[in-house]
Amino acid sequence: MKSVAVFNNKGGVGKTTLLCNLASHLALRHGKKVLVIDADPQCNATQSIFADDEIEGFYTRGSFTIYSIVRPLSMGRGFTKTLEIQRSAKFGLDVLVGDPNLGLTEDLLATDWVQGAAGDVRGLRTTLLFSHLLQKCQNYDFVFFDMGPSLGSINRAVLLSCDYFITPMSLDIFSLKAIENISKSLTGWRGKYENGLRLVRDPELDLEVSDPSWKLKFAGYVTQQYTFKRDSHGNARPVKAFDRIMSKVPEVIEENFPTGRVSLADLNLGSIPTLNSLVPLSQTSRKPIFELQAKDGVVGAHFSKVKEFERTIKGVSERFLANVRAHSL
């Protein structure tokens, strides 16, 4: 099992759209067994995958959500013993549904982080709640975390539990600055976390996590939401304003994220142009974009857009899988 965070602390870069379509493509086209964990208190992945009546049912019935993972810890009862998921046939994957109450745990995680960095076992156990959760997910090929746009304590706990992270970017100067902020935060978090681990007598026994070491590796980035024109050969080219930013991305990535066994060129998983009305159609039908059909409202030129998107997400999926294999060598 490989755990993957889809993360950028800048909002509006298409994190959830990328996650849902990449995870679904791996499941439906590559035959992978995939779990999506909605760790965003805004619950965007849950809303994108399930119909409104299903979502209403989850919360009126008191279904198991991601908050069910955190609540026992917040009450001093230790890690949860169970894991309940929901199935999405249209996306071909399982989901641990999100919960707005997850946002209430930011203060708890922040306080216990400080204590954990000083070697306090209880603080580290709270910080490792997602690592403990992942131990219950070993029957999956991939577990994807959807995350909110912040450098807060929830996202910190997710990132230190994961094997990999990928970053969707919009082509503007603020996304480049966000990469620098992420790098600085990861460096600081890792130093404090590893210092806390060194102060624990027997980390695996005391923390109930089989491998509490920092494992996070960068598996690539996707540029999104650019406008393009066709060149004389019919190839899509970003307009100059976006092209200027795009040319700076590899340098910023190289300066801030260790590439490991993956080449800088391979870290560029792909570029997704503006999808116009395909995203709303996907959200309304609760289907991945590459699965949209006429019955979902696709008409006219949108059919070619759907095909173009499937080619794009196919390339993203293949490069992502290749990068994971390279990191694993």
CATH number of the domain residue 263 falls in: 3.40.50.300
Of 73 and 264, the one with more pLDDT: 264
What percentage of the chain carries pLDDT values higher than 90?
A: 69
The SS3 call for residue 245 is helix
Q: State the pLDDT at residue 225.
A: 59
Token pair recorded at residue 252: 């910023």
Average the pLDDT over 175-203 and give the result.
94
Alpha carbons 9 and 27: distance in angstroms, whole number: 27
Residue range 53-86, pLDDT digits in tens: 999 999 999 899 999 998 887 777 778 888 999 9
Q: State the pLDDT at residue 224.
A: 81
Token pair recorded at residue 202: 């027997």
Q: State the pLDDT at residue 14.
A: 85
Average pLDDT over all residues of the chain: 91
Per the structure, the count of domains in the chain is 1
Q: State the pLDDT at residue 78.
A: 75
Alpha carbons 46 and 55: distance in angstroms, whole number: 8
> How many other β-carbons are positioned within 10 Å of the β-carbon of residue 301?
8
Alpha carbons 259 and 266: distance in angstroms, whole number: 10
Of 11 and 30, the one with more pLDDT: 30
Instruction: Report the range of poorest mean pLDDT among 7-16, 107-116, 117-126, 256-265.
Output: 7-16
Strand segments, DSSP code E, in the chain are 2-6, 34-39, 86-88, 93-96, 142-147, 164-170, 217-226, 228-230, 236-238, 268-273
Alpha carbons 15 and 89: distance in angstroms, whole number: 21
Q: State the pLDDT at residue 147.
A: 95
* Domain region containing 168: 2-328
